[in-house]
Structure 1
Amino acid sequence: MGEKKKVLKMLIGIFLIAIIVCIGVSYNQSSKTINKNINIDKSINDIKKNTFNETSKGSDTKPEKIAYITIDDGPSKYTSQILDILDSNNVKGTFFMLNNNMILHKEEVNRMIKEGHGVGFHGVSHDIKELYKTETSSLEEFETCNKTLYDICGKNSKLIRLPYGSKPYTPQENYDSLIKNDYLIWDWTLDTQDWKSSTDQIVSNILYYGREREEIVILMHEKEQTVNALNDTIKILKERGYTILPITESISPKNFWIGNTNS
């Protein structure tokens, strides 16, 4: 009888030990799962936090000094060279184009679009007597340009530059008509006078008139001397800390009517 009791106690002891071991294993597994979940959640939160910080940094980042290189009167026989120079310097320009020139140089227009340059219009006639013949004649010219651009590449633009600038020639009625139809009128803050200057004079104008400005809109034209001065112009701007960007429709325009050019 005494032996039976001993065996029974031994069996009970083994059973209790087995229960304790099972509880311990189960607890360890649960702890691991909980810790694993905590670590996963922590990693996800860290990723979200880092992503938010990077996004925030990106959205708040704005260059301290900005330059817009704008080129009027094209496209022309010089456009491909201009695009090559911009590409070799890894910068984008903005082209204000004449309607008939777009028709004559469709390949260059498509290349501008493909390579991410800003594109806008400079009118049809380039003649202020025609441009402002009626209260809506200027609007009609830019609507014609827009149709031409769409026919060439399926794109539209609201960026325009009025021939000879928006002042003093533009009548109030014409200006109001363009604004009412959402056109964004751009003038300039630095006139290189390249249409009458040598290559050296163009570079000198950039050096002198481009000093101590946080943002500049440079006026150039599709001329041989401009092509020859463009590389040095870009070099000067970069050395002075400018980020060279294309004009887009999301940027508030600078023009003589608004009075934000200080030209």
Structure 2
Amino acid sequence: MKRIIQTLFLLLLSLCFIFPFSLSASSITPPQETDEKVVYLTFDDGPTPKVTEQILDVLKANDVKATFFIVGKEIKGREAILKRIYEEGHGIGLHTYSHNFKIIYKNPESFIMEMEKVKSTINETLGTHLDIKAIRFPGGSAGRLNTKFYNALCAKGYCIYDWNVDLQDGIKGTLPPSTFVKNAKKCQDGRMRRIILAHCNGNNKNTALALNDIITYYKQEGYIFKAIDHTTTPYFYRFKK
């Protein structure tokens, strides 16, 4: 009898791996991560002249790849910058077409439409057919993501990337570069993997000035830099119904 019970237990355990239990809506959290020391530099709101180009110069000089979450309306007239991002091997994510909160957060369908539109614009500009699945909520997913929203995004194959390190350069772009370097060392959740939120808008020249020191710090701490791609574990804030 003991042997039979052990056999049934092992069979049940194997089925758990084949057919994972679905989480209730009130307990959905990002997948668990390894302890690998990886840092993802991410830049929202571009492409923009000068600042995005300065950031690209610093990344190239340090042989570092980053990820740019693109706003569709910013592409026109800056096509060459987007092409440079792509040609230099950086990751490309979707950050809506309009970045207009009233439009994008009207309902899940409107949000998805915005993501599809920016993806289409990116591909038209690059002359490619990239199946971009990495997305970032303007302002972050906290307080916006719910079960219906999450399921709609999953049905489209989208992967959400919030952040656990915030330079705070989004609304405070004129802070000194030294402040951004200090903020880059603060992790919100204590995880080994760091996803750094930065911006490459027109008022983010101090972000570009801080970037070299941020990269130096993480290299000295033994981190490796990666761009977000289809193998990158999603990261989003826990949400309830």
C-alpha change, 1:210 and 1:140, in structure 2 (3 Å) is: closer
**Amino acid of the residue matched to residue 175 of structure 1?**
Y
Residues of 2 paired with 1:176 and 1:244: CA distance? 30
Kept in 2, the 8 Å contact 1:132–1:170? The answer is no
Please name the residue that 1:180 is paired with: 155
Alignment partner for residue 205 of structure 1, among 161, 183, 202?
183
How do 1:86-235 residues align onto structure 2 when only pairs under 5 Å count?
86-153=59-126, 154-156=128-130, 157-195=132-170, 196=172, 197-209=175-187, 213-222=191-200, 223-235=204-216
Residue aligning to 1:241: 222
- Alpha-carbon shift at residue 176 of structure 1 (Å): 2.2
Corresponding residue for residue 8 of structure 2 = none
The change in CA–CA distance for 1:179 and 1:94 in structure 2 (over 3 A counts) is same
Q: Which moved more, 1:201-210 or 1:216-225?
A: 201-210
Judged with a 3 Å threshold, the aligned counterparts in structure 2 of structure 1 residues 175 and 232 are, in CA distance, closer, same or farther, namely same
In the comparison of the two structures, how many residue pairs are matched?
198
**Partner SS for 1:163:** coil
So what's the TM-score if we normalise by structure 1?
0.70
Q: 2:164, 2:189 within 8 Å by CA — same for their partners in 1?
A: no
* RMSD (Å) for aligned C-alpha atoms: 2.1
Deviations along 1:115-172, whole A, 9 cap, x unmatched?
1100011112223221122330000000001110110111421111010111112354
The amino acid across from 1:199 in the alignment is: P
- Equivalent-residue separation in structure 2 for 1:189 and 1:212 (angstroms): 8
Of the two structures, which has the highest relative contact order with CA contacts closer than 8 Å and spacing of 6 or more?
A: 2
Distance 1:155 1:82, change over 3 A: farther
TM-score for the superposition, normalised by structure 2: 0.76
**Which has the larger share of helix?**
1
2:14 maps to what in 1? none
The equivalent of 2:58 in structure 1 is: 85
**Aligned match of 1:73:** 45
In structure 2, the residue matched to 1:47 is none
Q: 1:211 to 1:98 in 2, by over 3 A?
A: closer
**How much has 1:175 moved relative to structure 2?**
2.9
> Matches of 2:189 and 2:218 in 1, distance apart?
10
CA distance change for structure 1 residues 241 and 142 in 2, over 3 Å: closer, same or farther? same
Q: CA deviation at 1:192?
A: 1.1
Which aligned runs of 4 or more in structure 1 are off by greater than 4 angstroms? 210-213
Gaps of 5+ in 1: 1-61
Q: Secondary structure at the match of 2:98?
A: coil
Select between 176-185 and 218-227 the one with higher mean Cα deviation.
176-185
Larger radius of gyration: 1
CA 1:83–1:239 in structure 2 vs 1: closer, same or farther (change >3 Å)? same
AA partner of residue 110 (structure 1): K
Quote the Cα distance in structure 2 between the aligned partners of 1:258 and 1:237: 30
Task: Measure, in 2, the Cα distance between the counterparts of 1:226 and 1:250.
Answer: 28
Partner of 2:183, secondary structure, is helix
Cα gap change, 1:136 to 1:65, in 2 (>3 Å): same
* Secondary structure class of the residue paired with 1:74: coil
Alignment check: 8 A CA contact 2:66 2:91 kept: yes
